[in-house]
Amino acid sequence: MRWRSGAWALLLCLLAAPALAERTPCAIHDPQRRPWFGDLHVHTRHSLDASTQGTRTSPRDAYRFARGDEIDLHPFGPDGRPQRRAKLDRPLDFAAVTDHAELFGEVHICNTPDAPGYDSTMCRVYRGWPRLAFFLMNGRGAPRFDFCGPDGRNCVEAARGPWQEMQQAAEEAYDRSSECRFTSFVGYEWTKVVDTASNLHRNVIFRGAEVPRVPAGATDARTPRALWDALDAECREAIPGCDALVIPHNSNLSGGFMFAPTRLHDGAAIDAAHARRRAANEPLVEVMQHKGASECGLGTGSEDELCNFELLPYDSFMGRFLPLARRQPAAINFARTALGEGLAIGARLGANPFAFGLIGSTDTHLGTPGLASERWTGGHGGAGIPLGEVIPDALLDPIEYNPGGLAVLWAEENSRESLFAAMRRREAYATSGPRIVLRLFAGFGLPADLCGDSAFAARAYESGVPMGSDLPARTDAGPLRIAAWALGDPGTASEPGTPLQRLQVIKLFLDAAGGVHEQVIDVAGDAGNGADVDPLTCTTRGEGFAQLCRVWTDPGFDARVPAVYYARAVENPTCRWSTRACNAAGIDCGEPRSVRRGFEGCCDASIPQTIQERAWSSPIWYTPQH
Amino acid sequence: MSPGNTRRLLFATALLAAPVPFFLGEPELAPVLRLAFLSTLVARVFVAEGGSTTGTLLGIGLVQLFVWTGLLFLATGLVARVLDRLSTDRARVATIAALVVGLLGASLGDLYDTPLSSTRARSSLLHLFE
């Protein structure tokens, strides 16, 4: 068995090596780096939850969509014609299809008439009652289903089909010409839940075309450490050129487990080795997506009013499906709390397990990467509402969901090597959908006159460090300065962007007793600019800023105290997707007869009618030298 | 019509068409007969594949099935008794007919919430078992 695995690895290496070499240098190579917009969390028909809600989009279709093509979406009529189509207003620069790895084989068998197991009871229920099958199959861990054959062999073998299709689709979509218009990454989602369906899901993104023969899913690699082990054993150590990083998401649904201060495999407290290993394997966290924001929770560890943004009213999947089992998310579910806890653990152990950067993505289950506009009211299908045969007269997503966000990477060029390096060094940021450009630098000798300078980036790189970095030990070069710069999304001719309202720096630091404190500082813009939106018409009112910039000197900086800084750029208010959908359906909450079944959420006072879209930078850390 | 026959008719109609709320992964509002049908599907999967999730879902389904069957049995018995005491034969038959026809008639519209259905989130009696 071992020699077989080795032979497969060798064969893959031989096949992959020429492919890697065939990379024409990009015509655009900017040493000061550019922001590339993409989506690293995309599901297609190979994911159980997507397939059981009717999604037929293939990985190839998903990449076509990311590159700007219009694609068909379910439901499909009896004549096979789609009842809706979708197209991005602007293509993405990169994307990764990340289907759930756990049931690749099972889904493939249940959809393939000649496959052994196709006629099993489970597969019959899958085809006839897919939503019921979702609950029966999704909760299955090890051992595999009986219809998978002895030792689950048939399903493991069958999983290779979708996995290879995903690799081929990524390969075909990757623009290896000098135009470098689009980059694809091979990836998958490791889909583990614990306790009361508490989410530990992580996306695995591979650097290139060199990937393991089968993805390590949660059926076999049952803890995060087991996943890292599998990536070491089956990728980094087994296949030359293979590398991967792991991106956790939806800590908001993790019941506190995603950023727990203990090791999940044995319950022991995190030690220095584990902390280093986690930080090395998981340099990024997806802080914004379809199933809510995970930055911070208002009233749970923070009094920051802007934390009240796309928060889910429950802290695990159980709360989504069983309202009686709902728990309010605790502070430890959020990235900001983890960044602070990371400082405290780092101070104790000398290693910070939560030294992560931030990205957003959609988590689309329609195979539509980058469809993060609030103007799209057609739903995203995050294991949500199956549409059936016709588009129902109803809200097409649970009202607490949202269209998701985008990942932005600061890289020299749009190639796998350059973008992967950006992820590795955490020079990345998240947006809630708009294409806001956000830069953050920090340094002790950072010039105070960077804003407005055409050489902003060159001088900032020269005298400071960018987002995602660790500050060097304090020198006598000057006070600690933070340079933050945001450029509002210009939008398109048909859908102009929304101006910026303010630019903030969020600082977390430790006190002498090891307690974590936070400061939210408006460094530019005007929180009281009076900008507003009419929720009845979604017409925006008031002025904003096309761009905001500030070199801010931290007056409270203490060289003896660990600290972390990140930036947040916030737009003027606009209508939330649900407001647009409710308006389009003619819902008037003052007129109960207009509130049809399926639109009850429109009049739920806990759901805001307007939002302030935003971007979050990855942090910059300061650690005192002892 | 005897009280026993009245009860049987009302009970059968209620099992077939009275919407009751239940939870089987998704919350549904549908007749007990659909709950029984779905529980049977889950039971078949459990027999074939086992699994703790399937077993839990089967348990949840069976408990609700017994509870709703029992409640409907008691409720229809109560209605049958009231009808027996308060009405003349003619009025009783008319009331029973109105109840049965009314419920069955209403069930022909999209009366039920059926998110577990593969084809429609709201269904009529005719589509409950598709």
Record the tokens describing residue A523, joined without a space: 């460094």
Interval A443-472: pLDDT, tens = 998 999 999 999 999 999 999 999 999 999
Q: Does B122 touch chain A (CB under 8 A)?
A: yes
Which phi-psi region, left, alpha or beta, contains residue A474 (left: φ > 0; alpha: ψ -120 to 50)? beta
10-residue mean pLDDT profile of chain A (626 residues): values are 49 48 87 98 96 94 98 89 93 98 95 95 94 89 88 94 98 97 98 90 98 93 96 97 98 96 89 97 98 94 93 92 87 97 96 98 97 90 68 89 97 98 98 98 95 96 97 83 98 95 98 93 97 96 97 94 97 98 95 91 96 98 88
What is the percent of chain B with per-residue pLDDT over 90, rounded to a whole number? 66
Q: What is the DSSP string of A387-401?
A: -TTS--SS-SS-TT-
* Cis peptide preceding A75, ω within 30 of 0: yes
Distance spanning both ends of chain B, measured CA to CA: 34
Task: Compute the distance between CA of residue A282 and CA of residue A342 in angstroms, rounded to an integer.
Answer: 13
Amino acid at A140: R
**What is the residue extent of each domain of chain B?**
3-119
User: Given CA atoms A43, A44, A47, A48 in this order, what sign does their dihedral have?
Assistant: positive
Q: Around Cβ A571, how many Cβ atoms within 10 Å?
A: 28
Which residue, A374, A336, A597, is CA-closest to A495? A374
B25·A394 Cβ contact <8 A: no
Task: Compute the distance between CA of residue B44 and CA of residue A117 in angstroms, rounded to an integer.
Answer: 15
Residues of chain B with pLDDT under 70: 87
B121·A385 Cβ contact <8 A: yes
Residues in A closer than 8 angstroms to B25, CB to CB, are 131-132, 134-135, 321
Q: How far away is chain A from the Cα of B30, in angstroms, using its nearest Cα?
A: 15
pLDDT of residue A389: 74
ipTM above 0.95, yes or no: no
Interval A98-110: pLDDT, tens = 999 999 999 999 9
- The 8-class DSSP code of residue A593 comes to G
Q: Around Cβ A600, how many Cβ atoms within 10 Å?
A: 13
Give whole-number Cα distances, B17 to A129, B81, B108, in Å.
21, 21, 9
B49·A134 Cβ contact <8 A: no
Task: Compute the distance between CA of residue A602 and CA of residue A608 in angstroms, rounded to an integer.
Answer: 10
- The size of chain B, in residues, is 130
Residue A227 phi, psi (nearest 5):
-65, -45
Distance spanning both ends of chain A, measured CA to CA: 50
Q: Which residues contact A525 (CB under 8 A, 6 or more apart)?
A: A500, A501, A502, A503, A545, A548, A570
**Helices A59-66/A160-173 angle, 10° precision:** 20
pLDDT of residue A380: 82
Cα-based angle A29, A30, A32 (whole degrees, multiple of 5): 155
Q: Which residues contact A494 (CB under 8 A, 6 or more apart)?
A: A89
Q: Which residues contact A114 (CB under 8 A, 6 or more apart)?
A: none
Q: Does B41 touch chain A (CB under 8 A)?
A: yes
Q: For B52, name the nearest residue in chain A, comparing CA atoms only.
A: A140
Amino acid at A342: G
Q: Which residue has the tokens 């902003």?
A: A456
Cα A362 from chain centroid (whole Å): 6
Task: Compute the distance between CA of residue A477 and CA of residue A537 in angstroms, rounded to an integer.
Answer: 53
Task: Compute the distance between CA of residue A584 and CA of residue A590 in angstroms, rounded to an integer.
Answer: 16
Give whole-number Cα distances, A58 to A55, A62, A162, A396, in Å.
9, 6, 10, 21
Q: Which domains does chain A have, with CATH numbers?
A: 2-101+159-431 (3.20.20.140), 102-158 (no CATH), 437-622 (no CATH)
Record the tokens describing residue A517, joined without a space: 């404190």
Interval A173-206: pLDDT, tens = 999 999 999 999 999 999 998 987 899 999 999 9
B48·A394 Cβ contact <8 A: no
Give whole-number Cα distances, A134 to A107, A277, A517, A526, A606, in Å.
11, 34, 43, 48, 29
Residues in B closer than 8 angstroms to A83, CB to CB, are none
Residues A359, A38 contacting (CB under 8 angstroms): no
Residues in A closer than 8 angstroms to B49, CB to CB, are 120-122, 145-147
Q: Which residue from B41, B120, B122 is facing A129, i.e. has the nearest CB?
A: B41
pLDDT of residue A626: 66
Amino acid at A272: A
B120·A121 Cβ contact <8 A: no
Q: Around Cβ A626, how many Cβ atoms within 10 Å?
A: 6
Residues A332, A344 contacting (CB under 8 angstroms): no
- The full 3-state SS of A85-143, as one line of letters, equals EECCCCCCCEEEECCECCCHHHHHHHCCCCCCCCCCHHHHHHHHCHHHHHHHHHCCCCC
Q: For A54, name the nearest residue in chain B, comparing CA atoms only.
A: B118
pLDDT of residue A379: 81
pLDDT of residue A1: 43
Residues in B closer than 8 angstroms to A139, CB to CB, are 51-54
Give whole-number Cα distances, A355 to A126, A249, A259, A358, A469, in Å.
41, 15, 11, 10, 10
Task: Compute the distance between CA of residue A407 and CA of residue A96 in angstroms, rounded to an integer.
Answer: 11
Give the A:B interface size as CB pairs under 8 Å. 84
- What's chain B's Rg over C-alpha atoms? 17
Residues in A closer than 8 angstroms to B111, CB to CB, are none
pLDDT of residue A8: 53
B53·A134 Cβ contact <8 A: no
Q: Around Cβ A179, how many Cβ atoms within 10 Å?
A: 12
Residues A346, A355 contacting (CB under 8 angstroms): yes
